[in-house]
Amino acid sequence: MGRLFGTDGVRGLANRDVTAELALGLGVASANVLGRTGQPEGHRPRAVIGRDPRASGEFLGAAVTAGLASAGVNVLDVGVLPTPAVAFLTSTLDVDFGVMISASHNPMADNGIKFLARGGIKLEDSLEDEIERQLGTAWDRPLGAGVGRVRTDTGSAGADYVEHLIGSIGATGDALPLSGLRIAVDCANGAASDVGPAALRAAGADVVVMNASPDGRNINEKCGSNHPEQLQAVVVASEADFGVAFDGDADRCIAVDHRGVLVDGDQIMGVLALAEKDKGRLHEDTLVVTVMSNLGLILAMREAGIRTVQTGVGDRYVLEEMRANGYTLGGEQSGHIILSQFATTGDGVLTALQLAARIQESGTKLADLAGAVPKLPQTLLNVPGVDKARTATDAVLQEAVAAAESRLGETGRVVLRSSGTEPLVRVMVEAATQASADAVAESLAAVVRDRLAL
């Protein structure tokens, strides 16, 4: 049996892979690992739990809560809030850990359970492994007054989160830094459907809201950061200054300029990195990205005197690098952007506010700001049915990659990446022209199929 935890918690098809029984067991196991590790005898653990609005989150959240309370944990249920809001509350409420029920950008039928350690940070692998080991093992059940209590938040948690967000751009009291900006917002019928527009309005923006009517079934359905087509049309039709789109749990943000042109996470990071460097707030003038970030971002940052550090794919690896070295900005092309001065995770609404503030203070359109971070043509091909374990060791394939990199020179790049869940290798090529990127990618994909075929 493979490892239960993936790169972002436990995730799968709700009620088949992620069941009520599993959720209950994870609640108990997490209580025994996260609620008591390093704590004195008799400590009463506390946890905060939130969810996105998909229907299965109701029974999964109830099951996790039951497991926690049965193991003696006092639980604060904050209801539907973004993942970064639960991380923020885990930190500010000084609870032992947090739980988020969400499958992020996945289809509605999926769901997941992720845990946050004290301080609102993602768990280390060793803690996830210990929770997995504790599943189904015998444990001492508290009795009487020893069982945990469950309290439901009445809205103050969401209000505290919004106040924190707008404070990050100086929107306090009569200060409305986004006054005069019209922003279209696609909430993906997800967890930010209330707090996303509320934060932007509280900062003074004129907000055009779309896909903010979650019914438990419509989350991420042809909307949000994975499907920006609606947003692109609405930005143009409403004459908005720009638009933003979140995913289901609002830890991602992508943008659209006033012409309806997409601005991805790489370009947003570039815009924010340049702004932070100008203000002297970019630690060691360094931006943390993954190996899948566009070479155009790397080259633009180099020209601006900003160093880029690359990690493996996944926002947890970006965050690990940032925490290890004190870096203040990092993220992924998908729109997971971490501003460590204000958040412990990627935060879509925070990113939208910071981007809006940069547009406002610079007096420059998003199209022009993003133009400073040009994207090189990129081709990504998936090659299924191969032995991905031999990707880095097959000599003929490595020779083909070296030859391709030599041919592309300084204005091109090759990345071969094995899928974490499928017998599949991803071939990514960037080049000066789309035709060159396509040709090199097709050539390397053919070598992968020939050399690694099962």
**Which residues belong to the annotated binding site?**
104, 247, 249, 251
Q: Which residues pair with 10 in a beta bridge?
A: 113
Active-site entry in 56, 91, 102, 104:
104
Separation between Cα atoms, residue 413 and residue 294, nearest integer Å: 9
Residue in the structure block whose two tokens are 């419509």: 218
The Cβ-side half-sphere exposure at 8, using a 13 Å CA radius, reads 23
CB 205 within 8 A of CB 390: no
Separation between Cα atoms, residue 313 and residue 290, nearest integer Å: 5
CA triple 335-337-341, angle to 5 deg: 165
140: burial class by Cβ within 10 Å (0-12, 13-18, 19+)? exposed
Separation between Cα atoms, residue 272 and residue 59, nearest integer Å: 39
CA triple 248-330-312, angle to 5 deg: 85
Separation between Cα atoms, residue 138 and residue 156, nearest integer Å: 37
Residues in binding site for Mg(2+):
104, 247, 249, 251
Q: What are phi and psi of 441, to 5 degrees?
A: -65, -45
CA dihedral defined by 335, 332, 366, 410, rounded to 10 degrees?
-150
CB 442 within 8 A of CB 306: no
SS3 content of the chain, % helix, strand, coil (to 5): 40, 20, 40
β-sheet with 378-384: strand ranges across: 378-384, 424-430, 413-418
Separation between Cα atoms, residue 105 and residue 100, nearest integer Å: 14
What sections of 216-280 are H helices per DSSP? 229-237, 265-278
Beta strands in 356-406 (DSSP E): 378-384
Q: Would you say the C-alpha torsion 186, 189, 191, 192 has a positive or negative sign?
A: positive
Q: Which residues pair with 9 in a beta bridge?
A: 6, 7
Catalytic annotation present for 179: no
Active site residues: 104
